[in-house]
Amino acid sequence: MSWKAIGIFDSGVGGLTVLKEIVKTLPQEDTIYFGDTARVPYGTKSPETVIRYSHQITEFLVSRDIKLLVVACNTASAVALDSLKEAFPIPIVGVIEPGSSRAVSVTKTGKVAVIGTEGTVKSSAYTKAIKRLSPDVQVVTRACPLFVPLAEEGWVDNDVTRLTAEIYLKGLKEGGVDTLVLGCTHYPLLKEVIAGVMGNEVLLVDSAEETARTVAGILGEHDLLRPVAEKGNHHYFVTDVPAGFIRVGNRFLGGELGDVYQVDLDQSLIKGEGADEGE
């Protein structure tokens, strides 16, 4: 049982930041990553559509015999997590609860900011999760949509990115928050710029790091961890031509992406493409 892989899915490449933290925390584990690149983004879709997509992908990953599923997508975590937990008999972890829990445990002033995409901010998923854990915490949210294309372009530390961060984050800093949740899987790539704008007195909470800790804890509780002497293998599936995913994915993972296979979820056809193509 403990030799099965961890399944991870996202609407695109952003969830690779979650994968990266899981691999760092649990290098002995096999992973299967699924990016729904043909249907990205999820934030503009109806909840019903996101739930349908999430079930399709989970069925595909469960058919490959995973032992735990990580929903590494803020939108899918916000709208599909409960439905997935009801439908599938494996542990399922989203990215919202771990980040929210960490924010509540570290804030000293009780003022927490959450930055994310328009869809995540509109869903109020982080605000609800934080308030469930601690009703007295004040939560301020800010949509930072330009951070996603900047991260994918590899503009993680230049004048354009710094100026964009200053415009988005100025009000949050002036509002006296002491904790800032990176509520989008792309945002860890911009962590240094965001930290530079917010200053040393504001603690950044990386939902990807917290999710990896949660995964390690659940696998440990269920006695599903592989022996630490093992070395994990990593497999990647996408729903669109792999070239673009490979190019941006190498940026996200530091050039460690392996072969990427294209899947037609309706037909369950799989086509392979090497990691060096599309470069």
pLDDT for 251 equals 87
Q: Say how far apart CA 84 and CA 72 lie, in whole Å.
A: 13
Pick the catalytic residue: 5, 50, 66, 73?
73
How are beta strands 68-71 and 6-10 bridged, if at all? parallel
Topology alike, domains 6-94+210-273 and 96-207: yes
Q: Say how far apart CA 192 and CA 208 lie, in whole Å.
A: 15
Look up the pTM and report it.
Answer: 0.90
Q: Where are the domains of the chain?
A: 6-94+210-273, 96-207
The owner of tokens 């415009």 is 167
Provide block-wise average pLDDT over 10 residues at a time, the chain (279 residues).
Answer: 85 94 96 95 89 96 96 93 96 96 96 92 93 96 94 92 96 93 94 96 95 97 94 95 92 84 80 49
Tell me which CATH code domain 96-207 carries: 3.40.50.1860
Cis ω on the peptide bond leading into residue 98 (within 30° of 0)? Answer: no
pLDDT for 150 equals 95
Pick the catalytic residue: 184, 190, 224, 246?
184
pLDDT for 275 equals 47
Q: Among this protein's residues, is 73 annotated catalytic?
A: yes
**CATH topology classification for 6-94+210-273:** Rossmann fold (3.40.50)
Q: Among this protein's residues, is 144 annotated catalytic?
A: no
With CA atoms as reference, report the closest residue to 179 among 105, 99, 113, 101.
113
Q: What is the DSSP string of 11-28?
A: SSSTTHHHHHHHHHH-TT
Q: Say how far apart CA 229 and CA 221 lie, in whole Å.
A: 19
